[in-house]
Amino acid sequence: MAKKLRVLVAKPGLDGHDRGAKVVARALRDAGFEVIYTGLHQTPEMISEAALQEDVDVVGLSVLSGAHMTLFPETMRLLKEKGAGDILVFGGGIIPKEDMEELYKQGCGRLFGPGTPTTEIVSYLKEKFPDRS
């Protein structure tokens, strides 16, 4: 039996709205993934450390604060610096299309906007990790 996909869902920065992150975490869990939710106000350092400690395959960031151009790259940089650059970082929030394009160029996984059906997020991860879903 294949090992389940392990996903860390995190709310970086000062944004205090976590309903969407909790909905996504539950949908991923219901789809059969192992999910770790870190809670609010996480720093990229805390997220990268938790990702290593939990031995996750994927980190999902939820950013509504407008700090996505700092939080996503910094989290990816720290993971790479710690030898975990193979961990996929994806996420969602209120992110303008031009910023999405720049984050994709930097190696970020898919980014989902408000109102995206959770089934679309589940499908994306199943496509990226067909042997782990």
The per-residue pLDDT string of the chain (133 residues; one tens digit each, 9 = 90 and over) reads 678 999 999 999 988 889 999 999 999 999 999 999 999 999 999 999 999 999 999 999 999 999 999 999 999 999 999 999 999 999 999 999 999 999 999 999 999 999 999 999 999 999 999 998 6
Question: Where do we find the tokens 């994306």?
Answer: 124
Token pair in block for residue 95 = 């992110």
Give the CATH fold of the 6-128 domain. Answer: Rossmann fold (3.40.50)
Q: What would the DSSP string read from start to end of 70-114? A: HHHHHHHHHHHHTT-TTSEEEEEES--HHHHHHHHHTT---EE-T
